[in-house]
Structure 1
């Protein structure tokens, strides 16, 4: 984790734009996969779980701090995280540990499943799209016979009995986080649990793969209907975290916006197909190399596009800010509609500072692209907004100074280093 820790004191990134990115770059392990895997590993009753390809991000450090607090023995060294089984001692996660990240809510299911009770401060994370309620998590746990109340910013959960009792859960919306809570709670519950309208993101099925290796009995992987037959114990296993499809999209966006070319290793077609289809439609020449790499060729002109982001298999809402930046380089009007968040627009005022022509109409962003952006001083207010502003700076004239690095480091530990390797003029200041 050294590379990320070295930059914790830096306040901004300076980007000198208009340098085409060229070369080969690797994608780190997925943020949205590793955090649920860490929580699930705490369920094991025997052995040690070893996670490989763990990304160098601050959210991982936040999760290890939570494990330290509740008594779970763990050791993080470079990209390897080892988590010992059957060491949970405390049901309490205080506010200062829960606040840094949204996924702290996943420990609610872990603690009530293993100890029968939990006291977890309300989660934090990026402030995007207005409020991010936890009602789907509560509904899921209620289905297992867990009573929940919230008082003064703290969630109190108590099981009627242990083990929990399996049940039927039907989500009104395929919530990513709540699907994980349901899976975590169902693995050790008595009987059979059926999860309807479950989220289908690749990270969900990476979690299912690991849980099944641990001894869980989960069927339906690849569909929105999951069936879980509860088991009495789980064992520690070795598991490699899948590549981060959002970082892969970030690197692809950076290359496209700079008229660059190169190879991205760790770009899995099945995880990124919606983005691949979009990029080919706007004129990018892409070809797969084997099962997990993509080659991008220079493109003289990008075409405008119309896309609605949403839950998988739609184009991910996490890519919306990046696509907004890319649309500024597509000649003509592009329209991006976000079906997940009603006002995920933190990046737009900053892009306007750089000369972008953007209007927001309801949940839709209208971008009139084709003009060259101008370097400016901008601030990212969430993870994806910050990375989108870095991409904008790569395409702009002059120098762009990007603040908000505390958000960037939540999901990217080595992005600046990777862009440097591709020929970008970029550095921490």
Structure 2
């Protein structure tokens, strides 16, 4: 099992490029199931979750060809509308094939999703939505079985809570349904908009993506398309925080600054110099001192829950006390106890974390518990005195492509060992 060995104390300088968004690539790959024509996707990151999704698509009946960051797919027919547990047990995004499979083949059998152990994921919202569209759902033995032999029909679906993957799944199901589907309280994330743009290029009729109400007019069939995935805002945000926590001078390139408005605002309030030198880049420069700033996670365009752990690591180096409130997922402070092993002063009260800085962190052996928690440990290790060993880095490999190589090119002393 691979580990990271990191010697802290080096300010990051130089440039780090951003990859395509994992959270945009996964639904885009699933959307290729909706057509029998070729689909070409560019800027697909080489991360573990993507490889798992590609293997799943092959099992379902797709021909998948990978050429660098380009993936070409052809699905003449669905040969096996199933996502088995053994294949998808490490990936929560397996639920994204549910809607496309039911829409195209009339049935699906999908294992309940795995992935990060950070609390309940609202798969019930996917099920509720598909039932509203006319699917018959049965849940047993760890699988969701859905049938719509006569096809799906349009309906109004009101999500009880905002769900990104639920919005994406229902959007993909509705594009081939008969009539009009209205999704209310829909997610507004950039990844939802990116999927809608891809589906529209395939012939779907979608209005309102990026707002809380999405209207889909069903069509009989979709064509193939060629689509470029948007930049990964969470990866870019992680590198921006890396520049701030190390008091460095870092240029994060190939990103979409407007997707990071909430993070940039908090960093500027904390006294970090963050500027936008170009339309696809952010420059972060430390000023030698960071102020504590409270933060509450929210759905987009608020502060992303996927950047909460990284922000907590930063606040351990700030002057004062910061309160961090996690409103999206419960049990998403598992990184706090590992940060405490490195010297952080963090008190947990339910969905609140109270971070007292400024603490000198010291190297220690720590264990990554999930994807974003592992990123926070890497950030803390970059500024810690001495050597930190991070175990179970397969978590970080789920969402970051060669993060150690990118950080090393900016001066970090980091290496991967077996």
Q: TM-score scaled by structure 2?
A: 0.98
Runs ≥4 in structure 1, deviation > 3 angstroms? none
- Equivalent residue number for residue 390 of structure 2: 402
Q: Which stretch shifts more, 80-89 or 311-320?
A: 80-89
The 8 Å contact of residues 122 and 163 in structure 2, kept in 1 or not, is answered as no
For residues 103-114 of structure 1, the aligned pairs below 5 Å read: 103-114=93-104
Decide whether the 8 Å contact of 1:145 with 1:160 is kept in 2: no
**Of residues 117, 127, 130 in structure 2, which corresponds to 1:138?**
127
Q: Secondary structure at the match of 1:390?
A: helix
Number of equivalent positions: 417
Matches of 1:71 and 1:182, distance apart in 2: 22
1:228 matches 2:219: no
Contact kept, 8 Å, 2:61 with 2:75, in 1: the verdict is no
**Which residue is equivalent to 1:159?**
148
Q: Of the candidates 74, 78, 84, which is equivalent to residue 84 of structure 1?
A: 74
Using the alignment, how far apart are the partners of 1:113 and 1:276 within structure 2? 40
Is residue 88–residue 111 contact of structure 2 (8 Å, CA) maintained in 1? yes
Matched, 1:313 2:301: yes
CA distance in 1, matches of 2:77, 2:360: 56
2:408 maps to 1:417? no
The question of whether the paired residues in 1 share the 8 Å contact of 2:100 and 2:173 is answered with yes
Quote the Cα distance in structure 1 between the aligned partners of 2:134 and 2:78: 21
CA contact 2:237–2:307 (8 Å) conserved in 1: yes
Contact 1:416 1:426 in 2 (8 A): yes
Unaligned runs of 5+ in 2: none
Aligned counterpart, 2:19 = 28
What pairs with 1:330-369 in structure 2 (closer than 5 Å)? 330-369=318-357
For 1:267 and 1:257, the matched residues in 2 are separated by 20
1:349-407 CA-partner distances (Å, limit 9, x unpaired): 10010000000011011000112100000010100011110000001000000111111
| Structure 1 position 285 matched with structure 2 position 276 | no
What is the CA deviation profile of residues 168-205 of structure 1, one whole-angstrom value per residue up to 9, with x for unaligned ones?
A: 01111110111011101110111111110100011010
Gaps of 5+ in 1: 1-9
Aligned position for 1:60: 50
Cα offset, 1:160, TM superposition: 4.9
Tell me how large the CA RMSD over aligned residues is.
1.0
Give the conservation status (yes or no) of the 8 Å contact 2:178–2:218.
yes
Normalising by structure 1, we get a TM-score of: 0.96
User: Which residue of structure 2 lines up, in the alignment, with residue 3 of structure 1?
Assistant: none
